[in-house]
Each structure stands twice: as structure tokens, then as C-alpha cells.
Chains A and B, each alone.
Chain A
Amino acid sequence: MSLALVSWCTGAKAAVDLSREPASTSSVEQVFPNSFYLKVPPDDLVNVTRKKIRSPVNINVEEAGPDFSSVLKVGDRARLKGEILSVGPLEIRLGLHRYANSDIRAALDVGRMLNVHRHLIAAAALLQAFNLKDSILDKGGRAYEDYRSFFEETLAPSPFDVRRFERNALKLVGLGSGFTPSFDDFLSGFLCVFNLAAVVMGEGPVVLDHAELRRRTNWPSAKLMDYMQEGLMDEDVEAVVASFFTGDGDALLFDLQDVVGRGHSSGLDLATGLVASAAVVLDLMNHGSLAPKVVSALGF
């Protein structure tokens, strides 16, 4: 018996990937009560979710309906036929509304970005104050000493060494708790900001090899890191990046809170990556030493 759902927004990339080869079949990669991941050939991820947050790779569906984990299982097939995405017993009608990221690099204002250095320190302190168990900032976490070494030895030293960062970051991929491990979420946030700002830094972008990522962590986490390092962001992350690029520190502190809220500690870890990266970006632009202050404000 099929269950009909309506999607109110489809990510622009998700729409392209699903209709790329109409004959091909995607499959369910992971299922949660209110969302599931599809693997779309050859190797793309689509997130079908009841959450309201939009992203180029999300399909947002109405809130009503069954617990997805009670009607879907890993390996269930998915096909797009016209406007209907069939996934196991679900028939999801894709609406016309599309979500794509704006050209955020166009908003980059080097002069104004320097205004937010104090806000980044404040943001770091705020993230620490959340005191979330199992997050990258949790002093009681099993991997905390590894994180601490990374922050102190890779992020804090000035000048920032991109090659050292790539080497050391790869070693920690897959580390931490959560379906998307804490360090992966942190790295997603870091690479997103870093790579989008690369044009003004004279450094980067950092492109971590997907095969290497895949060797160290699960496929959805590796894909999400891939997308973020290419600058494909959900709207909450985009708001934070926009605040940073336009030098609006007050908005940055406000928008960052929306990122913190997601998942158990995923949001906090992601936000930590965004803040740490912003500090490194400012240092590279400005030959400054903000990063060690932010690392210290994070509690390391």
C-alpha cells in the first residue's frame, strides 16, 4: 500500500541528480524517524527530511506521516517518474519550489569582515558555554585529547599551514560520536568557510579526496563533507557565512545559534568549524593572530 507525501521544497542539486538518468535507481542508504538518505547514482546524496531547513541536497516533506524507520529500510529502491519520487512504499510528489545557494562570494567584503574578530571570540566562548556532552568541545569526551592536539598544533599556530592542516585533519576524519562523527561535522563547517573565502586569502581551497574520506568514515558523512568543501550549504550555514562575509557580527552571533540546534552535537560541532575557520581566514587575510584566541575561547 503506497503512502503519499508532498514535498514543499526540493534542493536544486537534488532535483538535477534525481533526474539525471531517469532510468537509474537510487537506494535508501540510512533511515531515521524524520529523514532518510538516498544514494543517487553514480555517487550523490539526497536527504529527504521533515525538518524545515532547506539545502541544495534536501527534499523537504510535510510534517505529517509515518515514522520513516517504520516504513523504509536500508536498500529500498527509489525512482523518479515525472514529479513522483517513489521510495519503497512512499510516493513523494515533488513541488516546483527549488532551493539553491546564492552566490555568496559576491557578498564578500574584506574590509567589513575584519570587524567581526571580537564577535568570533564571543561566539567561541558561547559555543563552549553550551557544554554539550559528546561534542568536539566536551572535555570528558573520549577523543578530546586528539581534538585538543589538533586545535593547538594545527589551528592555533601562526601562520596557518594549509598542508599541515590537510594532513592532520585527514587523520581525524571519522573520529567522535554520532552518525556523522563530531570531527566530520567540525571539518564540514571549517572547509565550507575556508574554501568559499579562498579567493581573498591567497591560500586554499582545501580539497580532501573523497576516496580518502570514504576510507575513514561512513558514506553519508563523507558526502556531506564533500558538499560543504564545495560550498554547498544549507540555509542556516549560508546565513552564518553571509553574516561573516558582510562583516555583521551581531547577525553572525544570532544566526550561529540556528546551526547549534541541530542533532545532538552535530550542530555545535559544525558551528565550531565555522567559527574556527572564520578566525583562520581573518588571520590569513590580515596577518593576524585571532585563531589562537578563538582556540583558547573554545576551551582548548
Chain B
Amino acid sequence: MVRELSSSVSLRDEVEKANQMAVERMMEADPFWTDVGPAIKLVPGMKDRMLLHAGPPISWENMSGPVKGAVVGACLYEGWAKDAVEAEKLAKGGSIAFEPCHHHDAVGPMAGIISPSMPVYQVTDRKYGLRAYSNFNEGIGKVLRYGAYSEEVLKRLSFMEKVFAPALLAGLNELKKEKPGLPFKPIITQALTMGDDCHNRYNAATGLFIRELTGYLISSGVSREELGKTFAFMNSNNFTTLNLGMASAKAMTMAAHGIKYSTIVTTMARNGTEIGIRVSGLGDEWFTAPAPVVNGLWFPGFTAKDANPDLGDSSITETAGYGGFAMAAAPAIVSWVGGSVAVAVEITKKMYEITYTKHKYFLIPNLDFSGTPTGVDVRKVVKTGITPNINTGVAHKDAGVGQVGAGLVVFPMEMFKKALRAYATKYGL
């Protein structure tokens, strides 16, 4: 049966109206950092013996090395297993539920494993009332999210749960005596003008965040010793605010999701085996393809042969109109991800061809304060043949090793075509 649109309105008009609404909501969303707490307390639907992961749904059998490594680490951290062998047996045995972070309004970088006891940030969109979550950033190198699970990794996770998170919460509560939370959008806006891209370069954002929070941390009552450790941890890790940036992006894209007829992409995420997208007007269906290989710069002792395919929910930043799409704002990033300044600018310019609009608030000074490319439009991706280009960290393909580099990656076309095919059958009939 052919469903007929009103004779005075065509599908093309509906698509344009819907996309306009989607990107408007994405840009006007106003994420505030509003809470810190264990995942089981804050993340909707989180349960005991559940692990959230990055990317589209995946079973243990199909997980790549670093994700399995992170799962093992999470099991050890939670005390569900006493060693890696027992942890793997548990994971294989079916007594752990694996679900995408995205299905719980959350995002996690790289393996993206969030376990019940892990502290998470809560971000609240004060414009549309939605909430999003992310775990805490451990730093770079040999860390859980890159698949490592050594004693050093577990010790750090324990520090984050027992010292760092409570300190941050105390500081936040002090701040909340004056305002509803810490607004994160102004931090992103400023950071983009200070040489960050807010995906793989968070130097300025982390500095701004520490500046905002310091006074409240000091008056929060946290002990000097714990304050010292907290500041030392943040100062040692430029990626401290990556996860808040991701949760903010998640909140912005959630505001744009679920708009009938819209062809705007609201999720782009990788689980190390597959990459998937979701589209505003197509509900919660994932459209997937094999995860792409990263064109990387390698840490000493590692080469491309060691690399796992692309991994992580951090492409939520590009989905929201910053990150790799704003690479032109971050020339120094090429020392981390490779390429050249010209390539970084070229990537941003190319992304304008597949996005619906330029961001109202995220501006790039050296492109004459042009707004960042915002709102990947599936139609434009298919029409131009250009797919999202992003930057990313790279994990070793084996469990237990960690990060081996960072680089640039081009997303495959297949999932966008699958999405458009589904769009045609949903709205064309």
C-alpha cells in the first residue's frame, strides 16, 4: 500500500524541514556537567554483571583483542574474576550481559567498557532535558580502554573510583551551590579557538576545565593530599576532558535523534570489529560495515601490523560537529595523528560537503570563523561519495597491550547506503 503524503507537501519538503529541526536541536542543546557517580547508580538500565561497550552490538566471540582485553580488565576490577583466564571463561560463558553504551545514553572512548562500579560523568542538556553519560579518562598508552589490564591499570581504575571521582564530585557539588552545573559547550567553543579539535586534542579544554573547577575543588573540603593527587592526575592527562566532551556530544546528538523524515546521522560508533551509524529518522536501527583500518603514526616499537581496526564511541564528537570535522582548528594535532596542516584543513573543508549546516557556535578562526561542519546528511554522503574522515587513537590488536599510535581514518560507504535503503522502504512506501 502506498502511503500518500498530503498533496500539498512532498517528501523532499518533509526531509528538509526535519533536517533543519534536527541540526537546530543539535546546535541549541546545552550540555552541563551535573553529576558524578557509579555507573550502576546513574546510567539508565545499568545492572550488575553488565558491561557496556563502544560501537554497535557485538558478542564476546566477535570482539577484537583490545575489547576482550578491556572486558577482562573490567571483570578483574569488579572482582568478578581473580585472573584473566577466569575472566575470559566468565565472558564466554554468557553470565555477563554486553550492551552498547549508546543503548544506555552513554559513550565510551576506544573499547568503551563501562562496568557497574566505574564512576561516570552525567551531562544534562538544560535545553531539552536529556541526560548522557561517559566514563572517566585514564590517560594514554597502557590503559583499559586500549585493552590493557595489568596491575598498574587496575590500580589506576581504583584510584579513579576511590579518590579522583569523589574529589570531582565534591568540587562539582560546591559549584552547584552557585549554578546548575558546569556548562561544557562554552569550553568546547573556546577550546576550538585555542587549537583543540575536541576529539584527539583536548589540551586547551582540559586547561579551561581545571581553571573552572579549581576554586570549587579547593573550597570543597577534599583533603590536601587528595586534592594534590587529583590535580596531578588531571595535569598529567590532556585527555581528562575527552569523556566530558563525548558525553556532551552524545547529549547534543540525542536532541537531534528521532525526528521523522530526518536523514541526519545521530550516531557513528566503532566496536573494533564493526562500525555502525544510526540516523535520526530511522529509530534505533544500526547500519554497519566492517571497521576500517587507521592510517596511523606509531609509537616506538609498533607498526601498522600491530594495529586493531578502528574502535570507540569518540566519533560522537564528529557526529555533533567537532572533533575531526574541526581539524582545521587544530594544526598541532598532526604531530599526534599524522598528516600535515594542509591535510587537516582539507579534511574540514571536505566535511562541509557532507554536512547539512555550519555550526552556529563552534567556529574555526583560521577559516574566517566559519562554523564547523555539522549534521552528517546520509543523502550527501551517498551523493558525493565522501564519507566522514576522523582522527583516532589506535589500539594493539592483541588484548593486554594498549595503545600503539594515533591516526586518520575514513569511514566506509556501505553503512550509509544501507541506511538510505532503509529510509527508502520506510518513507517511500
20 CB contacts below 8 A, A to B, read A118-B429, A119-B424, A122-B429, A125-B427, A125-B429, A126-B424, A128-B10, A129-B263, A129-B427, A131-B15, A139-B12, A253-B424, A257-B417, A257-B420, A260-B383, A261-B382, A261-B385, A267-B383, A296-B4, A297-B2
Q: How far does the Cβ of B410 sit from chain A's closest Cβ, in whole Å?
A: 16
A131 near B420 with CB under 8 A, answer: no
* A132 CB–B CB distance under 8 Å: yes
B16 near A131 with CB under 8 A, answer: yes
Given the complex of chains A and B, what is the CA–CA distance between A260 and B383 in angstroms?
A: 6
- Chain A 246-263 per-residue mask, 1 if CB under 8 angstroms from chain B, else 0: 000010011001001100
Interface size on A, residues (CB 8 A): 26
| Residues in A neighbouring B423, C-beta threshold 8 A | 126, 129
Closest 3 pairs between A and B when the two form their complex, measured CB to CB: A125-B428, A122-B428, A126-B424
- Chain A 199-223 per-residue mask, 1 if CB under 8 angstroms from chain B, else 0: 0000000000000000000000000
* A293 CB–B CB distance under 8 Å: yes
* A233 CB–B CB distance under 8 Å: no
Interface residues of A in 112-168 (CB under 8 A from B): 118-119, 121-126, 128-132, 137, 139
* B11 CB–A CB distance under 8 Å: yes
Given the complex of chains A and B, what is the CA–CA distance between A260 and B263 in angstroms?
A: 16
* A299 CB–B CB distance under 8 Å: yes
Q: Which residues of A come within 8 Å of B, CB atoms?
A: 118-119, 121-126, 128-132, 137, 139, 250, 253-254, 257, 260-261, 267, 293, 296-297, 299
B2 near A261 with CB under 8 A, answer: no
* B379 CB–A CB distance under 8 Å: yes
| Residues in B neighbouring A137, C-beta threshold 8 A | 12
Interface residues of B in 13-61 (CB under 8 A from A): 15-16
A129 near B11 with CB under 8 A, answer: yes
| Residues in A neighbouring B417, C-beta threshold 8 A | 254, 257
B382 near A125 with CB under 8 A, answer: no
* B384 CB–A CB distance under 8 Å: yes
* B95 CB–A CB distance under 8 Å: no
Interface residues of B in 381-429 (CB under 8 A from A): 382-385, 417-418, 420-421, 423-425, 427-429
B428 near A124 with CB under 8 A, answer: yes
Q: Which residues of B come within 8 Å of A, CB atoms?
A: 2, 4, 10-12, 15-16, 263, 379, 382-385, 417-418, 420-421, 423-425, 427-429
Given the complex of chains A and B, what is the CA–CA distance between A250 and B422 in angstroms?
A: 9
| Residues in A neighbouring B384, C-beta threshold 8 A | 261
B11 near A128 with CB under 8 A, answer: yes
Identity of the chain A residue whose Cβ is nearest the Cβ of B380 in the assembled complex:
A130
Apart from A128-B10, A260-B382, A299-B12, 18 more pairs, CB < 8 Å: A119-B424, A121-B428, A125-B429, A126-B420, A126-B424, A129-B15, A129-B427, A130-B12, A130-B383, A139-B10, A250-B421, A253-B421, A257-B382, A257-B421, A267-B383, A293-B2, A296-B2, A299-B10
A126 near B428 with CB under 8 A, answer: yes
Given the complex of chains A and B, what is the CA–CA distance between A131 and B380 in angstroms?
A: 10
| Residues in B neighbouring A261, C-beta threshold 8 A | 382-385
| Residues in B neighbouring A123, C-beta threshold 8 A | 424, 428
B429 near A129 with CB under 8 A, answer: no
Q: How far does the Cβ of A78 sit from chain B's closest Cβ, in whole Å?
A: 29
Given contacts A128-B11, A260-B382, A261-B385, contact A122 B425 (CB under 8 A): yes
| Residues in A neighbouring B382, C-beta threshold 8 A | 257, 260-261
Given contacts A122-B425, A257-B417, contact A129 B4 (CB under 8 A): no
Given the complex of chains A and B, what is the CA–CA distance between A124 and B428 in angstroms?
A: 7
| Residues in B neighbouring A121, C-beta threshold 8 A | 2, 428-429
Identity of the chain A residue whose Cβ is nearest the Cβ of B421 in the assembled complex:
A253
Given contacts A121-B429, A261-B385, A293-B2, contact A130 B379 (CB under 8 A): yes
Q: How far does the Cβ of B338 sit from chain A's closest Cβ, in whole Å?
A: 21
Identity of the chain A residue whose Cβ is nearest the Cβ of B427 in the assembled complex:
A125
| Residues in A neighbouring B16, C-beta threshold 8 A | 131
| Residues in A neighbouring B12, C-beta threshold 8 A | 128-131, 137, 139, 299
| Residues in B neighbouring A257, C-beta threshold 8 A | 382, 417, 420-421
Q: How far does the Cβ of B52 sit from chain A's closest Cβ, in whole Å?
A: 32
Identity of the chain A residue whose Cβ is nearest the Cβ of B10 in the assembled complex:
A299
Given the complex of chains A and B, what is the CA–CA distance between A254 and B423 in angstroms?
A: 11
Given the complex of chains A and B, what is the CA–CA distance between A119 and B418 in angstroms?
A: 14
B425 near A129 with CB under 8 A, answer: no
Given the complex of chains A and B, what is the CA–CA distance between A119 and B423 in angstroms?
A: 12
B421 near A125 with CB under 8 A, answer: no
Identity of the chain A residue whose Cβ is nearest the Cβ of B4 in the assembled complex:
A296
Given the complex of chains A and B, what is the CA–CA distance between A125 and B3 in angstroms?
A: 11
Given the complex of chains A and B, what is the CA–CA distance between A124 and B427 in angstroms?
A: 11
Q: How far does the Cβ of A37 sit from chain B's closest Cβ, in whole Å?
A: 22
Given the complex of chains A and B, what is the CA–CA distance between A293 and B1 in angstroms?
A: 10
Q: How far does the Cβ of A122 sit from chain B's closest Cβ, in whole Å?
A: 3
Given the complex of chains A and B, what is the CA–CA distance between A54 and B16 in angstroms?
A: 34
| Residues in B neighbouring A299, C-beta threshold 8 A | 10-12
Given the complex of chains A and B, what is the CA–CA distance between A250 and B420 in angstroms?
A: 11
Q: How far does the Cβ of B49 sit from chain A's closest Cβ, in whole Å?
A: 38
| Residues in B neighbouring A122, C-beta threshold 8 A | 424-425, 428-429
B425 near A253 with CB under 8 A, answer: yes
Given the complex of chains A and B, what is the CA–CA distance between A173 and B418 in angstroms?
A: 34
Given the complex of chains A and B, what is the CA–CA distance between A137 and B11 in angstroms?
A: 12
